[in-house]
Amino acid sequence: MSSIWRLSASELAAKVQTKEISAREAAQAALERLAAVNPSINAVVEYRPEEVLAQAERIDAAISRGEVLGVLAGVPVTVKVNVDQAGYATTNGVALQRDLIAQSNSPVVDNLGKAGAIILGRTNTPAFSYRWFTSNLLHGNTRNPRDPALTPGGSSGGAAAAVAAGIGHLAHGTDIAGSIRYPAYACGVHGLRPTLGRVPAYNASLPERAIGPQLTAVSGPIGRTIQDVRLGLAAMAAPDLRDPWWVPAPLQGPAAPRVAALCLRPDGLQTRPEVESALVEAAQRLREDGWRVDEIDNTPPMKEAADLQIVLWLGDGFDAMEAAAIRENDPGALTALAGHKARAKSLDLSSFSHAFTRRATLLRQWRQFLADYPVLLLPVSAELPFPDGLDLQGDASYARVWAAQMTQIGLPFLGLPGLTVSTGMAGTAPVGVQLVADRYREDLCLLAGESIERGGVPPAPVDPA
């Protein structure tokens, strides 16, 4: 098997542009790697080799004609099954949608294509993308390539598992409560949740989303290097008129002081010692690279933001969600909805208005904080990656899972960007940190992420355990 699949996305893009490697060679190597390891992890649930090779041949032909191609020319990437790709079912891990064939691409798939990426395959997600674990009745269970006893994360668990195992050089994920950042954390790679409005979104195959999800769900990149994440963001963020929330903000903002805050236990989070150690080490890496890092006792309100996010995400249209989950009869989806039913059902016009009123207040506090500390370093999760299926082990386990994820859930309510940087291993479990910056300042997250990455990351790609 060719070792091309081991290259980072940025390395491969450079070699394709200079004709050192052809796009077809890259595609063939990716297909061979997929065939070799996907059966053991079930990260990619649909792919068509002949279409993959045809995409590569079109790229090679364009290069031979001297055409200027995008930043991901010839790079095999995966996309998640909850976004439209023409000719494929937008299943979102749901048997009810197995015949929902998209007639057109979502903006993020179109943008990847415009950047020259080769769409390698479609990655798994939990049913309805509700969980921190990736299994469903339609496509089955995705396993973590570093340790199959651990969750690969959710809901972009297939995306992160694929990148970690060398299936594609970059992955598309979506994040409404941590679904990019947590899988990256669990699989030992990097993942960026962009600012609301940065990456255009739209699925023509599905009804328009309720306002809560519209304001909190985003697409973003998962990669093995920070530079790959940077390239993925640049490709995905191209304009598309179909998304009224898209904002033409520059990818590179004005210079900011290299000043960061470290918070180990925001809002009283019960952070595990292994996670605290990773945060302290990451702060030291920043200092060694010229950053000033101040340890602080707390951040602006995070738990309140997380609680309100759950209400907006699941409460806005809860009855329809519950009816669909009952029809699907997926244990994970039913458990997720049951765990938050009382809170979600409390949403009425008054509480809906209150949520958005508090959003303005909280976001103002956060933006003032980020003016003093352009980057915030805090846990991705209070715990190391969970044992797979932990949320199905009873009420206490379910509550433990959601409590640990508070720092991920709160950011979407505020519309802020967050970056998971994988920093090392604690036994067989990956560990990492989360970086937060102001709106449309993903560049600051990536700048700090590069400083942390230079101190070492888990080896990747890996052969599945």
Average pLDDT of the chain is 97
Q: Percent of the chain having pLDDT more than 90?
A: 98
Q: Pull the structure tokens for residue 4.
A: 């091309």
Average confidence (pLDDT) over 259-271: 98
**Which residues are the active-site residues?**
80, 155, 179
Average confidence (pLDDT) over 376-392: 98
Residue 286 has pLDDT above 70, yes or no: yes
Q: Pull the structure tokens for residue 96.
A: 């009810």
The domain over range 4-453 is classified in CATH as 3.90.1300.10: yes
Quote the pLDDT of residue 273.
98
Instruction: State the CB neighbour count (10 A cutoff) for residue 71.
Output: 17
Cα dihedral across residues 346, 347, 349, 353: positive or negative: positive
On the 0-12 / 13-18 / 19+ scale of CB atoms within 10 A, 82 is buried
Residue 55 near residue 89 (C-beta atoms within 8 A): no
Tell me the whole-structure pTM to 2 decimals. Answer: 0.98
Residue 1 has pLDDT above 80, yes or no: no
Average confidence (pLDDT) over 283-295: 98
Owner of token pair 């995905």: 236
Q: Pull the structure tokens for residue 295.
A: 């340890």
Residue 308 confidence class, pLDDT cut points 50, 70, 90: very high
* CA–CA distance, 65 with 26 (Å, rounded to integer): 19
Average confidence (pLDDT) over 395-401: 96
Q: Pull the structure tokens for residue 279.
A: 């945060």
**Helix pair 9-17, 49-64: axis angle to 10 deg:** 50
* CA–CA distance, 11 with 23 (Å, rounded to integer): 13
Residue 465 confidence class, pLDDT cut points 50, 70, 90: confident
Residue 354 has pLDDT above 90, yes or no: yes
Instruction: State the CB neighbour count (10 A cutoff) for residue 323.
Output: 10
* CA–CA distance, 75 with 11 (Å, rounded to integer): 10
Q: Could you tell me where the beta strands, DSSP code E, fall in 144-209? A: 170-175, 190-193
Average confidence (pLDDT) over 208-233: 97
pLDDT in tens, 311-347: 999 998 999 999 999 999 999 999 999 999 999 999 9
Residue 385 has pLDDT above 70, yes or no: yes
* CA–CA distance, 126 with 180 (Å, rounded to integer): 13
Q: What are phi and psi of 242, to 5 degrees?
A: -70, -15
Residue 156 near residue 222 (C-beta atoms within 8 A): yes
Residue 227 confidence class, pLDDT cut points 50, 70, 90: very high
Residue 88 has pLDDT above 80, yes or no: yes
Report in angstroms the alpha-carbon separations of 65 from 12, 77, 187, 288: 20, 24, 40, 46
